[in-house]
Amino acid sequence: MSGTAAERLDRFMARANAAYYAGRDPFADFTTAPEITQAFGEILGAWAAVTWQAMGAPDPVLLVEAGPGRGTLMADALRLVGRVAPAFGRAIRLHLLETSPRLRASQAEALSGTGVVPTWHDRLDTLPDGPFILLANEFLDALPIRQLVRTAGGWMERWVEGDRFVLRDADVQPVAVPGRSVAQGDVLELCEPAMAVVRHLTERMSRQPGAALFLDYGSDRPGTGDTLQALRQGRPSPPLEHPGEADLTAHVDFPLLAHLAREAGVAVHGPDGQGAFLDGLGLFARTERLAQGRPPEQARALADGAHRLAAPERMGRLFKVLGLCHPTMALPGFGREEAS
Ligand code: SAH
């Protein structure tokens, strides 16, 4: 990527990430929960099966994953579902939201042994209608953000010129989130694609059974601040340098997304800490089962993986889980205390 004309931050981020996901193996630069332990995808498969029951066991049901990466989460989830909830397994119509051709190929390969053939989409609005369950792990953090700056003269916006930021007048207002106060000089992030995802899903949920689970990093309290970050060759890197060679992400604004969903009249669960959520759904029990009869180093790797996902000082607290569903449905796994 090149060019010196100023570009709005979200457009810069969209371009940089599209080039990055299309051209590189992102998983050489970072490790996500499903790549850490198979128990993660299995627990989410079990969660989806219980959620399907809570929806009244519709057949068919759309199982949707947004940003499936290598397809590992879904392969682990489907394997578990096939064993413990075969009726759910038979009802599933699998839809994957993925823009990277390269990752689509990885997903096809990961899922080839499951007997389930996915349909891929570039956008949510091409999904067929009907009851659905959506899973998204580390999807929202990859979506492009805008950054607004509160100044004495009103809202300004950060644009990218070369490898630095410049300020322009903003042509958009931030969404007011209950409990958030903004002082002069504060940066406020706005992830319009994430807001569009929530609006799309809540519109569907208001007229048919549906549930969505977002796992990602971000705060559970309304806040402000610049959270844009880049990982290049496994290491933090200045976000505006080397576009297309680094993974650009930002914290997910869970309070804003929860607020939008509430306004739309759907039920909101969490955001809870990922550790409490996974522990409550049996991450450690499942890990022990998996470790039984395995060589000690494999058993240790499984235990370490579970610890990494759930311990508060690792991913257990920074990562949050947000559940949205049709207003009359229950969702399993929420409202637990943090794992110790
Ligand atoms: N969920 C996976 C991968 C996380 S990486 C895991 O946990 O391992 C982010 C994923 O979102 C990648 O699959 C990337 O290609 C996809 N993605 C990023 N932006 C997207 C967009 N705008 N539309 C669809 N998929 C996108």
Cα–Cα distance, 252 to 250 (Å, whole number): 6
Q: Report if residue 178 sits inside a domain.
A: no
Q: Report if residue 320 sits inside a domain.
A: yes
Cα–Cα distance, 83 to 45 (Å, whole number): 11
In CATH, what number is assigned to the domain containing residue 56? 3.40.50.150
Q: Which domain holds residue 278?
A: 29-143+190-226+249-325
Contact yes or no for 74/110 (Cβ under 8 A): yes
Predicted confidence at residue 52, as pLDDT, reads 98
Q: How far is the CA of 138 from the centre of ligand 1 (A)?
A: 7
In this prediction, residues 49-70 reach a mean pLDDT of: 97
Q: What are the b/e assignments for 175-188, b being 16+ CB within 10 Å?
A: eebeebebeeebbb
**216-267 tens-digit pLDDT:** 999 999 999 999 999 998 899 999 999 999 999 999 999 999 999 999 999 9
Q: Give the residue whose CA is nearest to atom 14 of ligand 1.
A: 67
Q: Which two tokens stand for residue 215?
A: 């796992």
**103-117 tens-digit pLDDT:** 999 999 999 999 999
Q: Report if residue 174 sits inside a domain.
A: no
Confidence of residue 22 (pLDDT cuts 50, 70, 90): confident
340 has pLDDT over 60: no
Q: How far is the CA of 143 from the centre of ligand 1 (A)?
A: 9
Q: Give the residue whose CA is nearest to atom 3 of ligand 1.
A: 69
| Average pLDDT over all residues of the chain | 95
Q: How far is the CA of 214 from the centre of ligand 1 (A)?
A: 12
28 has pLDDT over 90: no
Confidence of residue 86 (pLDDT cuts 50, 70, 90): very high
**Protein residues whose CB sits closer than 6 Å to any atom of ligand 1:** 21, 26, 32-35, 67-69, 73, 97-100, 103, 137-139, 142-143
Predicted confidence at residue 61, as pLDDT, reads 98
**118-152 tens-digit pLDDT:** 999 999 999 999 999 999 999 999 999 999 999 99
Q: Report if residue 335 sits inside a domain.
A: no
Closest ligand 1 atom, residue 143 Cα: 19
- Is the dihedral angle over the CA atoms 43, 49, 51, 54 positive or is it negative? negative
Ligand 1: which of 139, 192, 248, 315 to mutate, judged by most atoms within 8 Å of the beta carbon? Answer: 139
Q: Give the residue whose CA is nearest to atom 24 of ligand 1.
A: 98
Q: How far is the CA of 10 from the centre of ligand 1 (A)?
A: 16
Q: Report if residue 235 sits inside a domain.
A: no
21 has pLDDT over 70: yes
Confidence of residue 47 (pLDDT cuts 50, 70, 90): very high
277 has pLDDT over 80: yes
Confidence of residue 4 (pLDDT cuts 50, 70, 90): low
Closest ligand 1 atom, residue 97 Cα: 24
Q: Report if residue 22 sits inside a domain.
A: no
Q: Report if residue 180 sits inside a domain.
A: no
Q: How far is the CA of 136 from the centre of ligand 1 (A)?
A: 9
2 has pLDDT over 70: no
Number of domains in the chain: 1
339 has pLDDT over 60: no
Cα–Cα distance, 243 to 182 (Å, whole number): 30
Q: Report if residue 319 sits inside a domain.
A: yes
